[in-house]
Structure 1
Amino acid sequence: PYKGNTSMMIVLPDDGKMKEVEESICRHHIKTWHEKLFRSSVDLFMPKFSITATSKLKGILQEMGITDAFGDAADFSGMTEELKVKVSNVVHQAVLSVDEKGTEAAA
């Protein structure tokens, strides 16, 4: 059990449909599924697992308008005395581990 309003949604696709679910899942699907949930008691046996995801964020940050940091106009003078410092890439990694003691997430 999680504290507060925290919860975990487990999606179990029909046999052979996992790839289809992975490719089509979006915020709308999760919201729709959540709205159709109902309380029920079940015995759930789930193996321990750990998932790691890595994302390169340079393109996303540039789309959001953060561009100077990646170019020659970058100004990191408040952080370093080095001149001509710029960001080459930004990588985010997240890890989710679930076992009999609970869930642990790190990013």
Structure 2
Amino acid sequence: MTRALLILATLLASFGCIRAEDADPEHDAWTREKCRRYERAWHQISGFIGLEGVSQDFIRGNEKFIADGCSSGADVCPHSPREIELANALTVAAMNFGTAGSFLPFICRQR
């Protein structure tokens, strides 16, 4: 089992089962909860994996996404092997606590 998978297993066990609500006020509460969970995942995974090999753009992009209440949209592109490992771990964590892939800040635009 790779280190990243071990990290994910430990992290995901701390989230428990969650379900999205349909009503708008509850949906807003769920959006805030998803953001809190993403923030917690970001801090736990980045702290455990470490940020060596991770660009300031990748770090700032995730921190801005969190600071904006996870509403600023996708604007983080993982480039290095460490960034890809971190993005994959965050994606798996987020999907396991019930978010859609469109919630995440990761996208690599063609130039």
With the length of structure 2 as denominator, give the TM-score of the two structures: 0.18
Higher alpha-carbon Rg:
1
Greater helix proportion: 2
With the length of structure 1 as denominator, give the TM-score of the two structures: 0.18
